Amino acid sequence: MSQEINENQSVEENNNPFNEDQLILMQLIQEKEKLVSEGKYLEANEIKSKIDKLRKSNRNMRTQTLNLIQNKQNEELEENYNLEYQKVSDMWDNKLLSFIENGNKLEDELAQNQNSKLEELINDLTSNYPSIKFSREYLNLKQIEKNLVKQERYQEANYYKSKCDKLEREEIEKYNKERSDNIRKKADAMGLKFENEKKVLREKLDRNFELLKVQRDKELKQITSKYKNRKTELNGIHKKQRNINENDNLLRSQNLNVVNNKGNKSIITLDSKYNNFEGENYGNNDNIMENNNYKNADNENEINYNEKNFSSMGDNDDN
């Protein structure tokens, strides 16, 4: 199995355009050195022009590849940020909506409970309210009416009956009014108490709702701040990578990975750390350039180039 992998890797290395250019470049350098040693300077100058052209082509290829991958990292970082921001925002929208629904449910339950208590109070006051007590004047007139009836003095009895009926209506009307006023006064007192309870509940719900919104805004700001910090860090890393790519001495001193993707197009890959926006490791400040090993999980075949063979891809004024 390992032999098959080694054979496949050898095939990939042979098909890698960087390898082909590297071999050509090494051959040209050897040829140029041979011509120089033989004193054939004009021929050596022609070879030097080919070497410069090939090096420029390699540099352009590296630059284009680096730009593509850095742009992809920036896009993935922003995409992951937008996804996480939207995820947290949606979570908070649902939480706030649930809070509102639960708050409305509490208010409805409170209102129903209060209405039941108010209805119970009114029924209790109505059924247990003291009966009417007629005045002494009314009772005396009623007694006179009864005595006159016993004496068969009906004409006089009718007179006192009329006075009794009128006084009875007045006193009943007064009683009903006082009864209604007393019941309404106690019901209003309970209603005022209930309004205060509703107000307290509403204020508590509003206060907690505002606290939730503050917490939501804080979390969203943390995500945005986290993204900005990562973006700043990534921009710094990208700048270092571009400097390495443009600086031949730095380039020769690095251990870089060149991979061959599905399209058989060789690319210089970058660390995938900055493509993972979510999680506690997001704020990790480990230096991506410490070992300068760039990796890309989207590629299948990875070929390592050490300092010696990769450095020949850059310009070398010594040769």
pLDDT tens figures, 269-299: 333 343 333 333 333 333 332 333 333 333 3
The answer to whether the pTM exceeds 0.95 is no
Q: Is the dihedral of CA 48, 54, 59, 62 positive or negative?
A: negative
Name the nearest CA neighbour of 313 among 130, 40, 105, 56.
56
238 pLDDT band, cuts 50/70/90, is very high
Q: Is residue 110 part of a domain?
A: yes
Joined tokens for residue 243: 């400097």
Does residue 56 or residue 81 have the better pLDDT?
Answer: 81
Is 316 inside any structural domain?
no
Q: What is the mean pLDDT of the chain?
A: 76
Cα 98 to Cα 94, 95, 104, 201, 266: the distances in Å are 6, 5, 10, 17, 52
Cα distance between residue 257 and residue 254, in whole Å: 10
- The predicted pLDDT at position 100 comes to 96
**Residues 98-134 pLDDT 10s:** 999 999 999 999 999 999 999 999 999 888 888 889 8
pLDDT at 254: 57
Q: With beta carbons less than 8 A apart as the criterion, state whether 122 and 187 touch.
A: yes
Domains in the chain: how many in total?
Answer: 1
CA 229, CA 226: separation in Å to the nearest integer? 5
Q: Which of 89-93, 160-164, 225-229, 283-287 has the lowest mean pLDDT?
A: 283-287
Kind and range of the H or E run holding 252: helix 248-253
Asked, for residue 317, whether it belongs to a domain, the answer is no
In a domain, residue 319? The reply is no
User: Tokens at residue 260, please?
Assistant: 């061959």
Q: Residue 26 domain-assigned?
A: yes
Would you call 102 exposed, middle or buried from its count of C-beta atoms within 10 A (0-12, 13-18, 19+)?
Answer: exposed
Report whether 75 contacts 184 (CB < 8 A). no
Q: Which of 172-186, 246-260, 268-282 has the highest mean pLDDT?
A: 172-186
Q: Is the per-residue pLDDT at 309 higher than 60?
A: no
Please enumerate in sequence order all residues whose Cβ is within 8 A of that of 125, keeping only pairs 6 or more positions apart, or say none: 182, 183, 186, 187
Question: Is position 318 within any domain?
Answer: no
By residue range, what is the domain housing residue 257? 2-311
